[in-house]
Amino acid sequence: MLNNSLKNIAFVVIISVTAITASAQKVKEPKPWSDEWAKTYQPFRIAGNLYYVGTYDLACYLITTPQGNILINTGLAASATQIKNNIKALGFKFSDIKILLNTQAHYDHMGAMAFIKKKTGAQLMIDEKDASVLKDGGSSDYALGGKGSTFKPVVADRLLHDGDTITLGNMQLIMLHHPGHTKGSCSFLFTVKDEQKAYKVLIANMPTIVTDSSFTSINSYPAIAADYAYTLKAMKNISFDIWVASHASQFKMHSKHKPGVAYNPAAFIDQAGYDAAIKDLVKEYEEKIKQD
């Protein structure tokens, strides 16, 4: 039998080996569902101090302030270079990112988050319901997890709750808890101004259904049906001037903007398009419920 000293040494060795093994585990990012996720896109000014800096379809947004900038979403792991180049092309510094936000904890929006956080030293603020999925790199996600990490694990500096305000410089963003797609999916509501007027902007995380399983069979997320119902109802009642989303295709960005065109915030004033998108998602939800 080991004496106490030897037991302690053995325990330390076991812990050390476990830690080394865990750190050696590699992230396996799934193959993109579309080539458009990695395709480059020219960055542009949406409205006021809000800019698009993402890929052709994976929407990433830069909000600038005199005290530093806010980046929302980071695309795939390889998207980091595109985002950095896009920010530079707009005349801003990558190092000026002070706050990182995210609309959902899936690899196509979290892939480069850990890298960008490390390079910029920015504070990562996340809906608390997605915090555990961030910590394990997506392996515990109810739909896309179960086979190891799909993005590099990262720990949030601040956990957000519905209605919380994120402040930087002259900007205040309100986080809206919109669960379903992930447990901590969220949207952001804020106002930007240009030389002519102010615009109330909604960055919407559209509650698409990502699982083929029936809701009642998802034991790791028993509240999923109720969460989707809540989100769809809540999103019907949001007041805004301009709306965009987590994917460019979701708000038909490519029909509203072409590379090189003049600044035109009015192109993104589209209440009818938003209402139609929500209506389609309600139908998708109702069809899903029928499986149960």
> What percent of the chain clears pLDDT 90, i.e. is strictly above it?
85
Q: Can you give the pLDDT at residue 56?
A: 97
Q: Is the distance from CB of 70 to CB of 165 less than 8 angstroms?
A: no
Check pLDDT > 90 for residue 147: no
Q: Is the distance from CB of 132 to CB of 120 less than 8 angstroms?
A: no
Q: Is residue 16 part of a domain?
A: no
Could you tell me the pLDDT band of residue 3, with boundaries at 50, 70 and 90?
very low
Q: What is the pLDDT of residues 193-209, one digit of tens each?
A: 999 999 999 999 999 99
Average pLDDT across the chain, whole number: 91
Q: Can you give the pLDDT at residue 19?
A: 34
Mean pLDDT value of segment 245-253: 98
CATH number, residue 179? 3.60.15.10
Cα distances (Å, whole numbers) of residue 64 to 41, 89, 151 = 20, 14, 27
Q: Is residue 23 part of a domain?
A: no
Q: What is the 3-state secondary structure (H, E, C) of the chain?
A: CCCHHHHHHHHHHHHHHHHHHHHHCCCCCCCCCCHHHCCCCCCEEEECCEEECCCCCECCEEEEECCEEEEECCCCCCHHHHHHHHHHHCCCCHHHEEEEECCCCCHHHHCCHHHHHHHHCCEEEEEHHHHHHHHCCCCCCCCCCCCCCCCCCCCCCEEECCCCEEEECCEEEEEEECCCCCCCCEEEEEEEECCCCEEEEEEECCCCCCCCCCHHHCCCCCCHHHHHHHHHHHHHCCCCCEEEECEHHHHCHHHHCCCCCCCCHHHHCCHHHHHHHHHHHHHHHHHHHCCC
Tell me the C-alpha distance between 99 and 168, whole Å.
8
- Angle CA(250)–CA(64)–CA(265) in degrees, nearest 5? 45
Check pLDDT > 60 for residue 43: yes
Q: Is residue 251 part of a domain?
A: yes
Tell me the C-alpha distance between 137 and 243, whole Å.
29
**Chain centroid, CA 138 distance in Å:** 13
Q: What is the pLDDT of residues 219-245, one digit of tens each?
A: 999 999 999 999 999 999 999 999 999
Q: Is residue 56 part of a domain?
A: yes
Q: Which domain holds residue 259?
A: 41-289
Number of domains in the chain: 1
Tell me the C-alpha distance between 102 and 123, whole Å.
12
- pTM, entire model: 0.90
Mean pLDDT value of segment 30-43: 86
Q: Is residue 73 part of a domain?
A: yes
Check pLDDT > 70 for residue 17: no
Pick the more confident residue, 28 or 48: 48
Retrieve residue 184's tokens. 């901590």
Phi, psi (rounded to 5 degrees) for 191: -120, 135
Tell me the C-alpha distance between 172 and 193, whole Å.
13
